[in-house]
Each structure stands twice: as C-alpha cells, then as structure tokens.
C-alpha cells in the first residue's frame, strides 16, 4: 500500500480556537474550503503555506496531555489518503493494524501495533 498523508489531526476542547492559535504561529488559512472534508461540527483545518494541513478535532471531555506523564498521553492521529479503502484496510491489518471502526463509508479507523489510532480515508477521484 502506498498512502498519502492528508493531514495531522489534533484532539482538543475547541477546534476553531486551536486552529486560529496555530495560524498565528505558522501562518496559513483557517477553514479554507477543501473537497477532502467538511468543516464545522467540531472540525477545523489550517492549510499551511507549504501544503501541509493541520486539522483540529473537538473531543468531548478533552483531557489535555501532561507531557511527559504517560497517564495523560499525547492525542493526535494521522489521516492517510488511499484510493481503495477496502484494499488498504486489508493491507493495514495484514501488516499488524487492528480495526477500531470501519462503519463509515469514507474513512475507517485502525490502531497501529503500538495502539496509536490512524484513519484510512478514501481519496476523492481527481
């Protein structure tokens, strides 16, 4: 499988506030329309000048990490774009991933062998 890194997703209590904070640090455009995902409903984006996209996902009862305390670990995950969601999922599982949620039609969530979540996201046809 060859996937493309779509974005890095950070869990937080207020997605739009965190997107605007990172825009001050990194530049870029908050919540620019993008056909790859919807905005709002607890999801904000920051398109950076170099092309990378940071995403911010609101999580109910968010507990911020307390680095380096392992009882309050870092909270982020990768979204990997793939052309064939089912085939990529089979490859991920064969490589050691565990299915966490495959109930959605456009993305499925897995855990890597160390337990870190990541999403395989169906790439839109170009």
Neighbours of 29 (CB within 10 A): 15
The whole-number pLDDT of residue 106 equals 92
**Domain-embedded: residue 38:** yes
Cα 2 → chain centroid: 17
**Domain-embedded: residue 65:** no
89: left (phi over 0), alpha (psi -120 to 50) or beta: alpha
Summarised one tens digit per residue, pLDDT across range 70-119 is 888 878 888 999 999 999 999 999 999 999 999 999 999 999 887 889 99
**Domain-embedded: residue 66:** no
**Domain-embedded: residue 112:** yes
- The parent domain of residue 20 ranges over 4-60+75-122
Tokens of 37: 């995902």
Helix residue spans in the chain (DSSP H): 15-26, 85-94
pTM value is 0.78
39, 26 Cβ separation under 8 angstroms: no
Neighbours of 118 (CB within 10 A): 20
Tokens of 33: 């329309």
Looking up residue 85, the CATH number of its domain turns out to be 3.10.180.10
Summarised one tens digit per residue, pLDDT across range 31-66 is 999 998 889 999 999 999 999 999 999 999 998 888
Q: Say how far apart CA 54 and CA 71 lie, in whole Å.
A: 25
6, 79 Cβ separation under 8 angstroms: yes
**Domain-embedded: residue 29:** yes
Task: Report the number of distinct structural domains present in the chain.
Answer: 1
């Amino acid at each position: 499988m060859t996937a493309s890194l779509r974005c890095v997703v950070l869990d937080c209590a207020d997605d739009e506030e965190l997107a605007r904070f990172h825009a001050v640090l990194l530049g870029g455009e908050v919540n620019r329309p993008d056909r790859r995902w919807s905005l709002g409903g607890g999801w904000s984006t920051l398109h950076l000048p170099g092309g990378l996209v940071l995403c911010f996902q609101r999580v109910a009862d968010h507990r911020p990490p307390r680095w380096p305390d392992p009882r309050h670990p870092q909270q982020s995950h990768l979204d990997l774009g793939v052309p064939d969601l089912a085939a990529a999922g089979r490859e991920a599982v064969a490589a050691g991933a565990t299915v966490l949620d495959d109930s959605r039609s456009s993305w499925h969530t897995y855990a890597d062998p160390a337990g870190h979540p990541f999403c395989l996201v169906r790439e839109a046809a170009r």
